[in-house]
Structure 1
Amino acid sequence: MEYYCTIFAAIESPYEEGLLWTGSDDGLVHVSKDGGENWENVTPKNMPEWIMINSIEADPFTKGGAYIAATSYKNGDYQPYLYKTKDYGKSWTKIVNGIQNDHFTRVVRADPERKGLLYAGTETEMYVSFDDGASWKNFQLNLPIVPITDLTIKDNHLIAATQGRGFWLIDDLTVLHQLSDVVTQNDHYLFQPKKTYRIGGRSVESKTAGENMPSGVITYFHLKDTASADTVKIHYKEKSGKVIATFSTHPDKKAKEEKLTVEPGSNQLIWNMRYPDAEVFDGMILWWSSTSGLTALPGKYDVELSVNGESQTQEFEIVKDPRSSATQEDLKAQFDFQNEVIAKLSETNLAIKDIRKARVQIEDVMKKQKLIPLKIWGKAF
């Protein structure tokens, strides 16, 4: 680190063939449009001298666009330095509005799914911008106060490398992709769930290791307040309209609705992708077997949010486990067979419940018969 005039950051644009960017630890930015045959010095003119270019990011939506993060703390300057260009570095715009003045910047990344959505890691906190860097908001959440040395996005997950506190990950960025003024202005809003793999298993909490993402369809919805939302329901449906599962703040047990707990602001519900369980009866012995319902097949489904009778629907998709060799036809045949088994099991168990009800009724009648005095010729016996 004592040697300067060294290339410290370099990228090949994944969006434009032959476009290369480099940044050095003595404050120079160069670009090549022909795979490195020729280079041009495009250092921002208003950037401090001897600053270190810490990261470079290609703009996913603008040809010739890029972002750079630079640090000058070695010179006693702890200010943030982020810049963007839309014209191969001919002109640069400083984009640090909203970042605290002593939070020097180490990395900036652009979300490939939403134009203008940026993430910045500083020496102290995380920041997010929804307007291409025109303004930044704190995005610390539960992240410890620690230097964020690098960021990357993989399968809609944001991964942060820290200096001394390990790796941190936000599992699902789809909510950020859909955030808008419409969400905050409406009394309630349902976000479209991301694609969900048809995989079982469960998460295990640990004091020494990270947690896996929950299994199932992760559904986010926003409620401005709960005082006026007397009845909130979420239905998961087949594309035909058939309801598979229902969660309600006032569940109907006869309809096999499950309890839904809500609070003002952001809410999360995880559906395990299963149809209703088979009927059971008290005292049933299973010996490691199960009466769990069928797992939904890969395909497209709908989720509906209903608040006091007003509804909003979003489509989502369940996709096949990529490790499975089973075809869609194989899974459908398995689904149909299991459906027949569950139907017959429910029929059998309902019959047992009916027999038990009949037995109770017979015993009740017999008890009442014993209480009725028998009279012969007007004399009670």
Structure 2
Amino acid sequence: RHIPRIAIDPTDHNVLYAGVLGNIYKPTTDRGVYKSTDGGKTWRKTLFANNQAGVVDLLIDPTNPRILYASTWRVQRTPYSLSSGGEGSALWKSTDRGETWTEISQNKGFPEGILGIIGVTVSPVNNQRVWAIIENKDQGGLYRSDDGGESWNQVNSERKLRQRAWYYTRVYADTKDVDVVYVLNVRYHKSTDGGKTFDTYNAPHGDHHDLWIAPEDPQRLIIGDDGGAQVTYDGGETWSTYYNQPTSQFYRVTTDNHFPYRIYAAQQDNSTVRIPHRTDGRSISEDDWERTAGGESAHIAIDPENNDIVYGGSYDGYLTRVNHKRGTVRAINVWPDNPMGHGAEGMKYRFQWNFPIIFSKHNPDRLYTFSQHVHVTENEGQSWDIISPDLTRNDPEKLKSSGGPITQDNTSVEYYCTIFAAQESPLKEGLLWVGSDDGLIHVTQDGGKSWTNVTPKGMPEWMMINSIEPSAFDEGTCYVAGTKYKTGDFAPYLYKTTDYGKSWTKITNGINSEHFTRVLREDPKQKGLLYAGTETGMYISLDDGKNWTPFQLNLPIVPITDLAVKDNNLIVATQGRSLWVLDDLTLIHQLYDAPKSKNWIYKPKDSYRMRGGSRSGSKTEGTNHPNGVITYFNLANLQDDDTVTLTYFDKKGDTIQSFSSSNKKDKKLQAKKGLNQFVWDMSYDGAERLPGMILWWASLDGPTATPG
């Protein structure tokens, strides 16, 4: 499932190599180096370490395409641990274009004992000079060989080069200077003396994972990090921005009640943001984004009565209240603790990296947050009450420090046995559903006085409950999206109950068997209309989950992490391709009643008079909501000589505007067989323009239609 490196033979573009790390959540035999000689049509495996160790780095000697280097890494993850290092972690060399491989990590000078992740690079100036940055408990650091890997010397052991080794561990040789080498980490480090000493530099973002150095000009570099990609033409003195790339990795998404409504979401290794879904300009630009409460891993909750007061979480139970109008920020953590670096054992409250925060749908003063317990406040976080027992499995074997056998790593990502999803029914106050990351579902119908375990019979154990959706149409109905990808199971899991959890039905028919599910949302205006986000795109159901069909349209094939429905819009949060909005669900709402065999016009959704428009084609700005009345019509039997006319009337039945396929220019209606969309800008006819007429500070545009 993970392919960290692809290399192309510079002398034959049909020869390709793929370094396959594989499934890090279970042992598999599909790891290793794969080679293709027909441009990727067919592949064969030429290097295999073992079923837990895959390839994490791979490169072709820039001076001799017969020589390749590869590093294999033994790594395994579970929902509650990460293990980096062990049998299978090694450095390899091939001298016959990847046909056979020799391990060179047993050679003289290489670290002894357990090896972890290894990064490797070769100098294009002298291909006998090879660097390797190595995770090792006692002898880790940067190593150099000056004889093509036959022998090694440690040249640097500074911790700044190898902290959190599993997350970084990349090294790159300069393309013109044999003594210049780069190591990537939180910041990036550069050596000009063969790796003995390093200076530390900042690019516009942090957490660096990849670097490209131009072969002919080492002053030109591209760095890849958790913010995107940045370019320098002066060796790092200045860098381009990363704000011009839609590459954000969002965790969760929600909206407020402002007009126009604003979208709130948290970005991996970045800030939380709030963004208007439409502006009075021609696009949605960087100027329209602003920071809000919480940190990179946050759930966000907006005060339903004052949308300028926002609550956001972050890892380790960090929780903040932001007042945008006053510009104030206040920490309102449930418990004054900073467990960073410690395992989950013995913790008073286990707050997951991505713990939920929600407002009651009935009491605007009631704010919930969730550890292994349900916490509630009605005084803006000044004090918290617990209204539940531990609603998880609380398995002590899964509440230990994560990491090893070389490096421990505890950031709350692996904190387990926590409540991971929760929501209150929009129909009944105190009807609260919660799901845990270890596979339990509980419900209370009395505001937390009593709880019932309603976990579906037959649902696989230890499933992460990733989203819960109480129905807006029936009090006893609730939908659940679960996932087991962290145990190596990529199947979709969606469930529905209509009797408060007494019985459940699995509803995944039509979803690809390897598109594991992250989120399910019900359309609040159309009963039975459901949306599902998976690791590999979107699905829609028109029959309450009995059947699903792909709903991709122009959305990239990308993990869907969360969905929200607001004002007939569907907002999609993705992991790697930013935020997307489907601007008009009205058409889908009316599919139930519209005949497909004849011409049909769909009733437009309510439209608003406001400034702004939509400029398409920008690569660096978001597309605005269409400004006008969005009209859909279906032409079932259109002939080439048919004329199609679309007319808008006022309440009295008088014509405001009419457009026809036979007209020219401004009054032209583009029409084709099948579904059509037209946006009317809500204007009347303008004044007649006379030959030679010039108007200063005036317009010939017609007036805009009045509301109603």
| TM-score (ref. length: structure 2) | 0.41
Which one has more relative contact order, counting CA pairs under 8 Å at least 6 apart? 1
Distance in 2 of aligned mates of 1:173 and 1:63: 24
> In structure 2, what residue type is equivalent to 1:63?
E
Q: How does 1:100-119 map to 2 (within 5 A)?
A: 100-119=512-531
Contact 2:426 2:471 in 1 (8 A): no
Are residue 292 (structure 1) and residue 704 (structure 2) matched? no
Which sits farther off after the overlay, 272-281 or 16-25? 272-281
Q: How does 1:199-278 map to 2 (within 5 A)?
A: 199-205=610-616, 206-227=618-639, 230-251=642-663, 258-278=667-687
Q: In structure 2, what is the equivalent of residue 362 of structure 1? A: none
Distance in 1 of aligned mates of 2:434 and 2:538: 24
Q: Pick the aligned partner of 1:180 from 571, 577, 592.
A: 592
Distance in 2 of aligned mates of 1:257 and 1:103: 45
- Which consecutive unaligned segments of at least 5 residues does structure 1 have? 300-381
Q: Pick the aligned partner of 1:67 from 450, 458, 479.
A: 479
Q: In structure 2, what is the equivalent of residue 78 of structure 1? A: 490
Count of residues paired in the alignment: 295
Distance 1:117 1:58, change over 3 A: same
Larger Rg: 1
Are residue 96 (structure 1) and residue 508 (structure 2) matched? yes
> In structure 1, what residue type is equivalent to 2:669?
L
Distance in 1 of aligned mates of 2:646 and 2:640: 17
CA deviation string 1:82-116 (max 9, x = no partner)? 00001100000000000000000000000000000
Distance 1:241 1:257, change over 3 A: farther
Q: In structure 1, what is the equivalent of residue 452 of structure 2? A: 40
Distance 1:257 1:122, change over 3 A: closer
- 1:182 is paired with a residue whose SS is coil
Q: In structure 2, what is the equivalent of residue 195 of structure 1? A: 606
Q: In structure 2, what is the equivalent of residue 377 of structure 1? A: none
Which sits farther off after the overlay, 277-286 or 83-92? 277-286
Distance in 1 of aligned mates of 2:436 and 2:587: 36
**RMSD in angstroms over aligned alpha carbons?**
1.5
- 1:175 is paired with a residue whose SS is helix
Q: Pick the aligned partner of 1:9 from 421, 424, 429.
A: 421
- 1:183 is paired with a residue whose SS is coil
The alpha-carbon deviation at position 183 of structure 1 amounts to 3.0
**More helix as a share of residues:** 1
Distance 1:257 1:285, change over 3 A: closer
Q: How does 1:131-170 map to 2 (within 5 A)?
A: 131-170=543-582
Distance in 2 of aligned mates of 1:2 and 1:269: 50
Distance in 1 of aligned mates of 2:431 and 2:508: 26
Contact 1:225 1:263 in 2 (8 A): no
> In structure 1, what residue type is equivalent to 2:578?
G
Runs (4+) of structure 1 exceeding 6 A deviation are: none
> In structure 2, what residue type is equivalent to 1:198?
R
The alpha-carbon deviation at position 181 of structure 1 amounts to 6.0
Q: In structure 1, what is the equivalent of residue 461 of structure 2? A: 49
